[in-house]
């Protein structure tokens, strides 16, 4: 079978080998220094493509936020440009911050005294993924990083390396799960591909008053549901003018045939715990055809547009909780969204969460229940109210002993919450060792945690700050 994108076009003026040849002679991208660049131009580079409008105020009006002010900014075009930036950081004793999509909720790429590498123009696109023709199995996708089979990087020591299971395996291990704590610049991912299967979907909308029965129903059915299904429950105002949130239970099937999709979705349709909403705004559907482009479009429409202020947090809930305990734990968040744009989400990870994860991958935190909230608002005056809501949801869960199993890095913000922030499983929180070998001087910014966000301790000792979270676990 063909891969999704078997032969991506090489970047202009370079063949694939240029990646390992920093001296290939391509024009260097300019590095803008804060001290010599007009403020508006510099700040426009610093905030370019940053999704969250709730971002550091780099003026002196809020002193602690001013500490997020970068030293320089660059949009590398080639590996040579990346090497030049890391080299400058070494010479000037600065740090490196990296931006690819700009979607981290806490704006991780805007960092004190750093050189910002904005990868927007890099080798023809962010990520520069090269697909491998090798195929995996068609169901139960698992974690995206399980499909990363190789990574090209530039290290703090200016090495240009290809990482794999057998080449610099410790750094490859960190590349698959360290998230923003990864101590190198990724310039290319090599991914294993899967066959693109047809997709069908059932959608059921329920009044929020039915939360308990709907959530319990989902927790009970997930372990024995077809592993070809993705099962999600979302709370959102649909439409935004409605006075209360609506629940949407989403069942997306990736099955080889309509018959297989029907056999996965029919038992669910036959076991609905209560009547779905009949509002014309709530288009329930059973085993309707869909596609990745349609799902991306729906996701995009559901996400708050860039321009909103956001704060996210999340938790994996313990597998030991009963369906009614899960429902009781989540009901306050699902039923009290702070604004009309905010959402809460429960994602069934079962049965994928019960698999043994590969040993050579740092990503290791999982449970049957992923729960996240996305507070979204428009005006600064609501910052405290929305922050308070997110804080309240998780303080409440933290106070319920045995409820939280850990957190997902990508939806976390370490400035606000570390409790319950167990990001890696037993025996896999050894990032400190990897950093000690590959980034002894703390050249890469790593996790943005409280002490850095508040301007404290940043320059006291470089190799402390990316390791705080692991140390506290
Ligand atoms: C609207 C929205 C929807 C989301 N939906 C999902 C979802 O469905 N599933 C999910 O898993 N997550 C989701 N997230 C979370 C998001 O995937 C993570 O925050 C992720 O880190 C964003 O990556 P980015 O490259 O866009 O962000 P950036 O802010 O550009 O990068 C985040 C960090 O990644 C590191 N990094 C980036 N590029 C490189 C590089 N080339 N080399 C080394 N390190 C690098 C840096 O530490 C950087 O600070 C969502 C976020 C938003 C805003």
CA angle, residues 325, 429, 366, in degrees to nearest 5: 30
Q: Which domains, and CATH codes, for the chain?
A: 1-195+432-473 (3.30.43.10), 199-406 (3.40.462.20)
The whole-number pLDDT of residue 427 equals: 80
Does 177 sit in the ligand 1 pocket, CB within 6 Å?
Answer: no
Q: Which atom of ligand 1 is nearest to 144's Cα?
A: 11
- Average of per-residue pLDDT across 125-147: 64
pLDDT digits (tens, 9 = 90+) for 269-279: 999 999 999 99
- Rounded to two decimals, the pTM is 0.89
Residue 152 has pLDDT above 90, yes or no: yes
Average pLDDT over residues 108-131: 81
Query: Which one of 73, 81, 103 would you pick to mutate in the ligand 1 pocket, going by the greatest count of ligand atoms within 8 A of its CB?
Result: 103
For residue range 235-259, what is the model confidence (pLDDT) as tens digits?
A: 999 999 999 999 999 999 999 999 9
**Ligand 1 atom nearest 104 alpha carbon:** 19
Answer whether 182 contacts ligand 1 (Cβ < 6 A): yes
Does 419 score more than 60 pLDDT? no
Could you tell me the pLDDT band of residue 138, with boundaries at 50, 70 and 90?
very low
pLDDT at 462 over 80: no
Residue 39 pLDDT greater than 60, yes or no: yes
Q: Which pLDDT band, with edges at 50, 70 and 90, does 16 fall under? A: very low
- 206, 256 contact by CB (below 8 A): no
Q: What is the mean pLDDT of residues 336-346?
A: 97
- Looking at 149-163, 229-243, 445-459, which range is the least confident one? 445-459
Q: Convert the pLDDT of each residue in 306-326 to its tens digit.
A: 789 999 999 999 999 999 999
pLDDT (0 to 100) of residue 446:
85
CB of 394 within 6 A of ligand 1: the answer is no
At 28, the pLDDT band (50, 70, 90 cuts) reads confident
pLDDT in the model for residue 448: 82
Nearest CA to ligand 1 atom 28: 102
Question: Residue 36: which pLDDT band, with cuts at 50, 70 and 90?
Answer: very high
- Position 303 pLDDT exceeds 90: no
> What percentage of the chain exceeds 90 in pLDDT?
67
pLDDT in tens, 60-100: 666 555 678 899 999 999 999 999 999 999 999 999 999 99
**Whole-number pLDDT of residue 157:** 97
Question: What percent of the chain is predicted at pLDDT more than 70?
Answer: 82
In testing the pocket of ligand 1, which one of 99, 371, 423 has its CB within 8 Å of the most ligand atoms? Answer: 99
Q: How many Å lie between the centroid of ligand 1 and the Cα of residue 86?
A: 21
User: What residue's CA is closest to ligand 1, atom 47?
Assistant: 180
Mutate-to-test residue for ligand 1 from 101, 120, 142, 171, highest number of ligand atoms within 8 A of CB: 101
pLDDT at 374 over 60: yes
Q: Which residue has the least CA distance to atom 33 on ligand 1?
A: 180
Please tell me the residue having the least CA distance from ligand 1 atom 52. Answer: 103
Sheet containing strand 160-163, strands side by side: 129-135, 185-193, 148-154, 160-163
Mean pLDDT (whole number) for 387-414:
93
Query: Is the shortest distance between the CB of 253 and ligand 1 below 6 Å?
Result: no
Ligand 1 atom closest to Cα of 153? 42
């Amino acid at each position: 079978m063909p891969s999704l994108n078997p032969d991506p076009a090489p970047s202009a003026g370079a063949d694939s080998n240029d990646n390992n040849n920093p001296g290939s002679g391509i024009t260097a991208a300019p590095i803008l220094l804060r001290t010599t660049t007009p403020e508006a131009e510099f700040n426009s580079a610093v905030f370019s493509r940053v999704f969250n409008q709730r971002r550091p105020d780099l003026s002196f009006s809020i002193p602690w936020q001013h500490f997020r002010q970068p030293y320089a900014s660059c949009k590398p075009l080639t590996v040579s440009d990346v090497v030049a930036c890391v080299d400058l950081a070494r010479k000037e004793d600065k740090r490196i911050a990296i931006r690819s999509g700009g979607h981290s909720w806490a704006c991780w790429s805007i960092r004190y005294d750093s050189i910002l590498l904005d990868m927007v123009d890099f080798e023809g696109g962010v990520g520069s993924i090269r697909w491998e023709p090798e195929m995996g199995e068609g169901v139960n996708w698992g974690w995206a990083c399980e499909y990363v089979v190789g990574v090209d990087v530039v290290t703090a020591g200016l090495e240009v390396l290809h990482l794999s299971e057998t080449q610099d395996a410790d750094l490859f291990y960190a590349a698959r799960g360290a998230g923003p704590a990864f101590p190198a610049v990724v310039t290319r991912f090599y991914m294993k591909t899967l066959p693109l299967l047809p997709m069908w979907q059932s959608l059921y909308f329920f009044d929020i008053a039915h939360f308990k029965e709907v959530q319990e129903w989902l927790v009970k059915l997930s372990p024995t549901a077809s592993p070809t299904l993705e099962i999600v429950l979302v709370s959102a105002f649909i439409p935004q003018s409605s006075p209360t949130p609506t629940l949407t239970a989403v069942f997306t099937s990736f099955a080889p045939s309509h018959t297989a999709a029907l056999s996965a979705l029919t038992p669910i349709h036959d076991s609905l715990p209560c009547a779905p909403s009949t509002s014309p705004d709530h288009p329930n559907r059973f085993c309707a055809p869909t596609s990745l482009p349609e799902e991306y479009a729906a996701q995009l429409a559901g996400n708050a547009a860039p321009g909103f202020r956001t704060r996210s947090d999340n938790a994996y809930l313990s597998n030991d909780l009963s369906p009614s305990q899960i429902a009781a734990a989540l009901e306050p968040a699902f039923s009290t969204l702070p604004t009309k744009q905010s959402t809460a989400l429960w994602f069934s990870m079962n049965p994928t969460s019960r698999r043994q994860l590969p040993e050579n991958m740092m990503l290791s935190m999982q449970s049957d229940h992923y729960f996240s909230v996305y507070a979204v608002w428009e005006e600064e005056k609501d910052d405290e109210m929305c922050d308070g809501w997110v804080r309240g949801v998780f303080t409440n869960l933290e106070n319920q002993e045995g409820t939280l199993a850990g957190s997902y890095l990508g939806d976390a913000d370490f400035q606000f919450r570390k409790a319950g922030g167990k990001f890696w499983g037993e025996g896999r929180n050894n990032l400190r060792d990897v950093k000690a070998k590959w980034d002894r001087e703390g050249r890469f910014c790593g996790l943005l945690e409280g002490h850095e966000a508040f301007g404290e301790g940043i320059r006291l000792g470089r190799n402390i700050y990316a390791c705080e979270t692991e140390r506290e676990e």
